[in-house]
Amino acid sequence: MSSLNLSIFVFGIAALAIVTAGSRLARLSDDLADRTGLGEALFGVLLLGGVTSLPDFAATLSAAIDKRPDLAMSNVMGSMAVNLAFLGIADIVYRKANLEHAAASPVNLMLAALLIVLLTLPMLAMATPPLGILSVHPVTPLLVAAYLFGLYLVHHTQAKPMWFPRQTHETVSDTPDPQQQGSLLGAWLGFIALAVVTGIAGWALMEAAKGIADQTGLSDTVVGGMLTALATSTPELVTTVAAIRCGALTLGVSNIFGTNCFNLLVVAAADVGYPHGSIYHDVAPVQMIWGLVTILMSAILLLGMLRRETYGIGRIGFESALILVVYGVALGFIVANS
């Protein structure tokens, strides 16, 4: 078997492992959210979002350590954009009403706003002159501090919300399921095992992607922004769609926003792991497009969650249709200019 065929085979197996683990993670997360009392929104942010980010973390850090900044940053930035596009796909899957209407939650609004704030920090680092302290950009520790403060705000919003969404016939509230089966310990062990599988598969995925890039001549920007970004984001798509199908709408939406917020920690880890100083100044300018597009998509979704349109054309919210268009145009532009 040639090196290229082997890389493609490993890539396919790793992607399949991520998809399989992700579908099971959604069911376990819904169960644990009820049993622990965290609720779907907070569990999606604190735990499910972090677990589904493990492939991005493993893949991005691997590329950064391997001195491939464009592959690392295009993977994590492209993943955040495609994750938001997945919410548009999830809205298509949920046919009863606009997903952002049915899953109304103050926590999800807070997460959307937090994501916009966090995303501006690496964009500022890329746009400003080179600066580093012990080979780490000052924005990196600021990014970590902002994320932790954001988690505090999210927790406070969950514990003591200052406003409540208007309840309609289409609103699906986060209510615990009284018919829970199996042991709590068993559920946690299963959750941890699936998290480990997801992380290992993410690392294997990036190693295979680097081989594909080297042997096909594709640029790291294209491979990271399309191939690995889509593959490492499959847990978000699978878990979100699975959560929606089992009625855990809040979990599905908070998983996407929580994952993207956690991915900003992945950006910080890439800067720390990159051996040639700050990673922000060694990436191609095209990487900023992914970050700016993700900010735009997040703002559109925030507007949609505030507007709470009950039904759109084809029962798809205007924000879902718009973010899919924005993502498609951005993807085409980046491919054409790489």
> Is 91 contained in some domain?
yes
Q: Is residue 322 part of a domain?
A: yes
The DSSP secondary structure of 45-103, one letter per residue, reads IIIIHHHHTHHHHHHHHHHHHTT-HHHHHHHHHHHHHHHHHHHHHHHHH--SS-HHHHT
Residue 297 lies in a domain: yes
What is the rounded distance in angstroms from the CA atom of residue 176 to the CA atom of residue 179?
9
**Which residues have CB under 8 Å from 178's CB, separation 6+?**
none
| Collapsed DSSP state (helix, strand, coil) of residue 189 | helix
Domain that holds residue 87: 3-172+182-336
CATH of the domain at 9: 1.20.1420.30
Q: Does some domain include residue 156?
A: yes
The pTM assigned to this predicted structure is 0.84
In a domain, 199, yes or no: yes
Report helix, strand or coil for 136: strand
Q: Looking at the 3D structure of the chain, how many domains does it have? A: 1
Residue 177 domain-assigned (yes or no): no
Dump pLDDT digits (tens) for 97-138.
777 777 778 888 888 999 999 999 999 998 888 777 777 889
- 285-326 pLDDT, tens digit per residue, is 877 888 899 999 999 989 888 887 777 776 777 888 899 999
